A and B are shown apart, each in its own frame.
Chain A
């Protein structure tokens, strides 16, 4: 029987307050880590738990931590990635607003494990409310000796500093995040060197997602075995699934990894509203290619989703029903990737603009014969040739749509209008710039 872990107390009144959090057993994980574990043992514990990153790439957290050089004279840093901008994703915001101490406790334990004395939380600008809650929680911790010098009398020191973004999806990419934090434009860096060797201020740096870090106190308290017994053997643990789009019960759901996508959207999410049929589902944020309804029996598991040509990504699950126009959805996704392209590499900056031009005209009913093939060709030219995963993600999203719903593209091109109730739209609306 699966038991709530990350969201167990999410509806407890005032759980964001230190006193309430401690009443529920909060900071026992930090105390245990400091008293009973050497840093190396903690890294081993997290490795044994088989926790994999919840930010998108799904890399083993313990293995990543073990890349920190043991003999470095440089300081080590932890950066918590709270940039949460992958469309369809809203779980980190929930944790930050409702359980900020769970995150801070995870950060403190992680810093002790990797030998960091400073942690930065890079939070997206729009999360103004969450930023306020988190800062209050940090202030409470300093006042109670849970952050700062000599934490809980252990001799371990830690500063936690919030750094606010300013509206840029690319800053969720770990090396762009570091650039941004250093005061540069948020453009990705070449890897290697990986941040664990040379990251923030050219020092060893670990970047982890909010949800990843929030798992850590539970692993310390309940053991690696407990964690690795939950869900998929090769990527275990509880996972926060974000359900949105044409679904009866949108929201954040904590369930084990490995559950079938169909169960997630039909049983937990209650299916599509108004008795409509589901047409397609994006399983892990818009960068993860969509599945057609017939393929929903797939397990929400890192490896199974990758083998099926998609990815677990951020577990942002977006549902489209029988009336949703896939061409329109694709246009919306590509508008996003194009706007958010940082401009560093040509395939992404120019190529996505080209893709968009074609999509806009197809959607507007002015598509030309051969446009769908041209989209395929552009995909070939862009995919694998971008500096970072943003451009590749855009093409993966495009291919997921073209691969599963080519008939809808063909229909728009042949007939010059949309087969669904939707009238043509102008999605390329702008934001105030300058």
Chain B
């Protein structure tokens, strides 16, 4: 496991966030986001460094990292496939999508493939129920209107990417091309 010594630049970025808030403690979430963006997860070592910067105890940082679903304190796969299984997606077949991914990746949801390429998670409503079923990969634009075929295409694309690279799941994942139905 690579060490997570915060670089000077990362520390500077964290320090730059502090003045946005009345209390430095408020900068703990943005600091953890920066670290996770850099390393993919947040190690104990990194949390201790954040604590020092913000004048907190390590446990005050740890309790934040452990509370929120989106902070990872252990390494996860390069591509974190997060399939929504809430009501609207479920009604439109999210279960089949999860099953397909489980079979195709040969893991259960919540697990990571042996090569560290994929982690599969079933997640709650992503706020895109009109385009169900929906999946988010890492923190990229959503993959919408999922079908079995589209899931295969996405997996193919990600499998072909060099290890460590995180391409957008499929070309045309551009949100602003959506047209919205506006009722009269």
- Give Cα A163 to B22, complex, Å: 13
- Give Cα A429 to B28, complex, Å: 30
Is B127 in the interface zone, CB < 8 Å from A?
Answer: yes
Hey, which chain B residues are within 8 Å of A152, CB to CB? none
- Give Cα A396 to B37, complex, Å: 38
Is A11 in the interface zone, CB < 8 Å from B?
Answer: yes
Hey, which chain A residues are within 8 Å of B170, CB to CB? none
Tell whether, in the assembled complex, residue B28 and residue A242 are in contact, meaning their CB atoms are under 8 Å apart: no
Tell whether, in the assembled complex, residue A431 and residue B180 are in contact, meaning their CB atoms are under 8 Å apart: no
Query: Given contacts A183-B23, A186-B68, is CB(A429)–CB(B85) below 8 Å?
Result: yes
Query: 22 pairs across A/B with beta carbons < 8 Å?
Result: A16-B176, A84-B127, A86-B125, A87-B124, A88-B129, A89-B129, A163-B29, A164-B33, A166-B29, A168-B69, A181-B26, A183-B64, A184-B64, A200-B22, A246-B92, A249-B181, A252-B180, A318-B129, A320-B91, A332-B86, A336-B86, A336-B125
Query: Given contacts A10-B180, A253-B181, A332-B85, is CB(A431)–CB(B109) below 8 Å?
Result: yes
Query: Given contacts A85-B124, A88-B125, A182-B26, is CB(A252)–CB(B90) below 8 Å?
Result: no
Q: Which segment, of B6-14, B136-144, B159-167, faces chain A?
A: B136-144
Tell whether, in the assembled complex, residue B129 and residue A250 are in contact, meaning their CB atoms are under 8 Å apart: yes
Is A189 in the interface zone, CB < 8 Å from B?
Answer: no
Query: Given contacts A128-B140, A328-B90, is CB(A182)–CB(B68) below 8 Å?
Result: no
Tell whether, in the assembled complex, residue B23 and residue A182 are in contact, meaning their CB atoms are under 8 Å apart: yes
Is A370 in the interface zone, CB < 8 Å from B?
Answer: no
Hey, which chain B residues are within 8 Å of A252, CB to CB? 130, 180-181
**What residue in chain A is nearest B25 (Cβ atoms)?**
A183
Is B183 in the interface zone, CB < 8 Å from A?
Answer: yes
Is A218 in the interface zone, CB < 8 Å from B?
Answer: no
Hey, which chain A residues are within 8 Å of B73, CB to CB? 434
Q: Knowing that A324-B91, A427-B85, A434-B66 are A-B contacts, what are 8 other residue pairs whose CB atoms are under 8 Å apart, sorted by A's residue number?
A: A16-B176, A244-B129, A250-B132, A251-B181, A320-B91, A329-B90, A333-B87, A340-B124
**How many chain B residues have a CB neighbour from A under 8 Å?**
67
Tell whether, in the assembled complex, residue B130 and residue A243 are in contact, meaning their CB atoms are under 8 Å apart: yes
B85 to chain A, nearest CB (A): 6
Tell whether, in the assembled complex, residue A332 and residue B90 are in contact, meaning their CB atoms are under 8 Å apart: yes
* 221-258 of chain A: CB within 8 A of chain B: 242-246, 249-255
**What residue in chain A is nearest B77 (Cβ atoms)?**
A432
Tell whether, in the assembled complex, residue B119 and residue A432 are in contact, meaning their CB atoms are under 8 Å apart: yes
Tell whether, in the assembled complex, residue B87 and residue A88 are in contact, meaning their CB atoms are under 8 Å apart: yes
**How many chain A residues have a CB neighbour from B under 8 Å?**
77
Is B104 in the interface zone, CB < 8 Å from A?
Answer: no
The listed residue with most B CB atoms (<10 A of its CB), out of A242, A251, A332, A429, is: A429
B107 to chain A, nearest CB (A): 10
- Give Cα A254 to B180, complex, Å: 11
* 99-115 of chain A: CB within 8 A of chain B: none
* 109-143 of chain B: CB within 8 A of chain A: 109-112, 119-132, 136, 139-141
Is B2 in the interface zone, CB < 8 Å from A?
Answer: no
Tell whether, in the assembled complex, residue B130 and residue A251 are in contact, meaning their CB atoms are under 8 Å apart: yes
Hey, which chain A residues are within 8 Å of B155, CB to CB? none
Is A185 in the interface zone, CB < 8 Å from B?
Answer: yes
Tell whether, in the assembled complex, residue B129 and residue A128 are in contact, meaning their CB atoms are under 8 Å apart: no
Is B15 in the interface zone, CB < 8 Å from A?
Answer: no
User: Interface readout for B143-178 with A: 1 if CB under 8 Å, 0 if not?
Assistant: 000000000000000000000000000000001100
- Give Cα A182 to B56, complex, Å: 13
Tell whether, in the assembled complex, residue B110 and residue A432 are in contact, meaning their CB atoms are under 8 Å apart: yes
Hey, which chain A residues are within 8 Å of B87, CB to CB? 87-88, 245, 282, 286, 318, 329, 332-333
The listed residue with most A CB atoms (<10 A of its CB), out of B23, B63, B85, is: B85
The listed residue with most B CB atoms (<10 A of its CB), out of A16, A84, A336, A434, is: A434
- Give Cα A185 to B98, complex, Å: 30
Is A149 in the interface zone, CB < 8 Å from B?
Answer: no
Tell whether, in the assembled complex, residue B29 and residue A336 are in contact, meaning their CB atoms are under 8 Å apart: no
Is A24 in the interface zone, CB < 8 Å from B?
Answer: no
Q: Which segment, of A90-98, A137-145, A404-412, faces chain B?
A: A90-98
